[in-house]
Homo-oligomer: A and B are copies of this chain.
């Protein structure tokens, strides 16, 4: 069901920017700005949410091994990161061409902070969980932090989208927004969809009963490898 909401989010964003703001391009014009919200919503919310936590992927691929789910988790988040970076390049480049100052608004502060922390989180996940170097107690120590920050960053990311939608509406339809212009209603609804998506992903990820049951033979070989070695008979 969160996937349906995710698709709806991308479609509504596309309609908003396509119908009300003339579509997408990469020419330094306002059409290039439109690439920014689309990429950020697709990258930092929908792809990020879809790849969020092996727990969600496990619901979709119940027969996959833990290692493959981890690789899939990392790959979807890498894609999310790349799409988001395209979205950032789009807006910084648009600002440069149009002579608009960077990084003064709350939206920009939150956005840069979120993407930076997401990159750090991704690199730390790679180092701790996919490279064989990290010891088992280090992984066990880091896992709850990784899970917490994963969800926290999704929340900050959605909050940042909401400030971005508010900014865009006040910049472009300040006069008619308060008269309930259709564009305002559409963009407000997009924001509610984003909150719904975040709520669904957050709810599923935090449910104990949706978690992948540990499979003893895999556990022994991956997470608990070092603790097994000294105590095995």
Chain A positions within 8 Å of B, measured between CB atoms, are 100-101, 104-107, 109-110, 113, 144, 148, 152, 155-156, 158-160, 162-163, 165-167, 169-171, 177-180, 184, 187-188, 191-192, 195, 198-199, 202-203, 206-207
B159–A195 touching, CB < 8 Å: yes
CA distance A206 to B152 in the complex (A): 12
| Interface SS of chain A | helix
A116 to chain B, nearest CB (A): 13
A105–B177 touching, CB < 8 Å: yes
Q: With A158-B159, A170-B167 known to touch, is A188 a contact of B106 (CB < 8 Å)?
A: yes
- Sort A-B residue pairs by CB-CB distance and give the 7 closest, nearest first: A159-B159, A170-B170, A163-B166, A106-B188, A101-B178, A155-B155, A166-B166
CA distance A152 to B187 in the complex (A): 21
